[in-house]
Amino acid sequence: MIPVSLSWVAEQAQGQLLGQFDSSIVVSGVSTDTRSIQPGDLFLALVGPNFDGHKFAQQAKEKGAIGLIVSRKIDTDLPCILVDDTKLALGRLGAAVKAEVAPKTIGITGSSGKTTVKEMVAAILSRRGKVLATKGNFNNDLGVPMTLLRLERHHEFAVIEMGANHLGEIAYTTNLVKPDVATIVNAAAAHLEGFGSLLGVARAKSEIFKGLSEKGANKGLAIVNADSQFADYWLGKLKYNKVQTFSAEKAADVFAEDITLGLDGCAQFDLVTPTGRIGITLALPGTHNVSNALVAASLAMEVGASLSDVQEGLRAMPHVSGRLQVKQLTNQVKIIDDTYNANVASVNAAIDLLSSFAGRKILLLGDMAELGEKARYYHEKVGEYAKQQGIDELYSLGVLSQSASAVFEQKGKHFSELAQMIEFLNEHVIFEKCDISILVKGSRSARMELVVKALEDSPLGKLERVRERIAC
């Protein structure tokens, strides 16, 4: 965070500064968690249905907090900034820091792929200057302002991911971010409990365009996925903005030609843009990442990246933990770790990658969360899609995912506990003398990363690591 004074914080948070304080005090950060407070931070007391940050004021002081942001007066000798609502004050502060630093700003949302696109854009723009990008899943109405507060004077670019589980959340965060360019990666069946329907998802995602300027020479650019069933719906909302389209399937402002998939599952293609074309080799597997790369290129080029920046940034992009990472357990067994999260679209995309590999193909599926009253139907459809794509076996873990494995009949199996699944895999799968690809997928709540770890720690996985050490 940029260094500021207590009075500046009070003004931007629309609060009243109370108590005795030294006007020379410099605020170096804002924290909502006493466990992460650093000396020089202000502690902001959030209030929720099951917690009240005001109760931790003394702990904040002991950790080195130099002041408090509160929504009611409390007994303390620290200076306090009294605000109407601490959550709203957090948003105001994030927006104020962003306005003060004034980086070129990219806003990204979507049902799936938004984190990958964020990382792609950051990798491209890092070749041009200092980039601040959203960390982890700090993409909601608390995470976005906390991300903005991390901005420093040297940041030239800000790449901000925005998620939501209800209408109005992205409208709020995009108003804080005020991006120069924004996109919706896609809209799919996700968080249906909060949005009600797939159209509700598309409507909620379209809120990101509300943060774009519609006037003057600095009109914001909206980048629209021409392959989405909601492309016309989104374009209809953008009568006063600059608009650019992208497509992995047909001609658009930015599109792909001559797509091929390597033995490692990574795509190569020609990127075609209004300013020229260039060959791209992706570091991430899966044909769906062609679409992600197209929108990432569009976003980055709008704020100054060149075609060569796009080419080199995408080639050198690091893997994101739990995001479609191919791990070679042995010479014959590979694990496709895509355990970070899941919805119907992302599971189907991972199935497409699995189907491209030779040999025996197995899907280990955990429950997909927040799909509403049609959750079992969506799991069944995923099972049907996997079968259509030539997946040999589907093993499920969780209550809802049983609807997917049931589609496979004798080639499907459901487990109620992780230990049962791992025991079965050790006995009947990973010691087979043939090429085997195992996709592990599920929502964060399903904790399917534990399956990956258990496979890596299996007798075969340990034996292979011993062999590698001996070979070295």
84-130 pLDDT, tens digit per residue, is: 999 999 999 999 999 999 999 999 999 888 999 999 999 999 999 99
Stated as kind and residue range, the H or E segment containing 452 is helix 449-456
- Give residue for tokens 């994101």: 320
Q: What is the pLDDT of residue 74?
A: 95
Q: Give me the DSSP letters along 284-306.
A: EESTHHHHHHHHHHHHHHHTT--
Collect the ranges in the chain with pLDDT lower than 70: 190-192, 460-472
Q: What is the pLDDT of residue 217?
A: 74
CA neighbor of 306 nearest in space, from 315, 297, 314:
297
- Contacting residues for 10 by C-beta, under 8 A, at least 6 apart: 16, 17, 81
Q: Torsion-angle region of residue 139: left (phi > 0), alpha (psi -120 to 50) or beta?
A: alpha
For 286, counting Cβ atoms within 10 Å of its Cβ (0-12 exposed, 13-18 middle, 19+ buried), the class is buried
Residues β-bridged to residue 21: none
Q: What is the pLDDT of residue 461?
A: 59
Q: For residues 294 and 376, what is the distance between their CA atoms, to the nearest angstrom?
A: 33
SS3 29: strand
Q: What is the pLDDT of residue 191?
A: 60
Beta strands in 217-359 (DSSP E): 221-225, 242-247, 254-261, 266-273, 276-285, 325-328, 333-338
Alpha-carbon radius of gyration of the chain? 24
Q: For residues 472 and 470, what is the distance between their CA atoms, to the nearest angstrom?
A: 5
CA neighbor of 336 nearest in space, from 368, 363, 366, 315:
363
CA neighbor of 121 nearest in space, from 185, 210, 217:
185
Judge whether 15 and 82 are in contact, CB under 8 Å: yes
CA neighbor of 408 nearest in space, from 445, 361, 343, 442:
361
Q: Pairing mode, if any, of strands 41-44 and 67-70?
A: parallel
**pTM attached to this predicted model:** 0.87
CA neighbor of 392 nearest in space, from 364, 431, 430:
364
Beta strands in 201-241 (DSSP E): 221-225
Helix axes 114-125, 307-315, angle to 10 degrees: 120
Binding site residues for ATP, as ranges? Answer: 110-116
Residues β-bridged to residue 47: 52
Residues β-bridged to residue 269: 280
Q: What is the pLDDT of residue 150?
A: 98
Binding site residues, as ranges? Answer: 110-116
